[in-house]
A and B are shown apart, each in its own frame.
Chain A
Amino acid sequence: MAARDLSRDPFFSDHFIPVYTISRSDLRETSVAPPSVGQQIVAVQTRAESSDRTSAGRMAILLADAFADGALKSALVEYVTAQRGALATSRQRLEAQIAGDRASLLRVETKIEELQKVSAKYPQASRGDSRQVVSIVDGGERYLSPVTQLIGASSDAIGIRDSIRESENKIRQVTWMSSVFDEAGKLNVAALPGRSYMAQLESIVRSDSRRGAEDSEAIREARSTIEADLSVFRGRYAIGYTILRAPPERPPRAGPPLLAHAVGGILASFVLALLLTLALRWRAAPRERVNP
Chain B
Amino acid sequence: MADEQATVSLSRPWTVLTTHWLQVAALTVAFALAYAVVVWLSATYVARATLRTPDLTLA
Closest Cβ of chain B to A290, distance in Å, is 8
- Contact residues in A for B6 (Cβ distance below 8 Å): 286, 289-290
Return 24 A-B CB contacts under 8 Å, by A number: A40-B56, A42-B52, A42-B56, A44-B53, A46-B48, A48-B46, A48-B48, A50-B45, A50-B47, A60-B49, A71-B56, A244-B51, A245-B49, A251-B47, A251-B48, A265-B35, A269-B27, A269-B32, A272-B31, A273-B25, A274-B13, A276-B27, A277-B24, A277-B27
- Contact residues in B for A61 (Cβ distance below 8 Å): 49
Within 8 A of A (CB), among B1-59: 6, 8-11, 13, 16-17, 20, 23-32, 35-36, 39, 42-59
Render A29-57 as a binary contact track against B, CB cut-off 8 A, 1 for contact: 00000010001111111111111110011
- Contact residues in B for A290 (Cβ distance below 8 Å): 6
Of B23, B26, B30, B45, most buried by chain A (CB within 10 Å of CB) is B45
Count A-B pairs with CB separation below 8 Å: 173
With contacts A269-B28, A273-B24 taken as known, whether A241 is within 8 angstroms of B49 at the C-beta atoms is no
Task: Confirm or deny: A140 has a beta carbon within 8 angstroms of a beta carbon on chain B.
Answer: no
- B51's partner among A243, A248, A261, A278 (CB-CB below 8 A) is A243
A interface residues with partner B (beta carbon < 8 Å): 21-24, 27, 35, 39-53, 56-57, 59-61, 63-64, 67-68, 71, 236, 240-248, 251-255, 261, 265-266, 268-270, 272-274, 276-278, 281-282, 285-286, 289-290
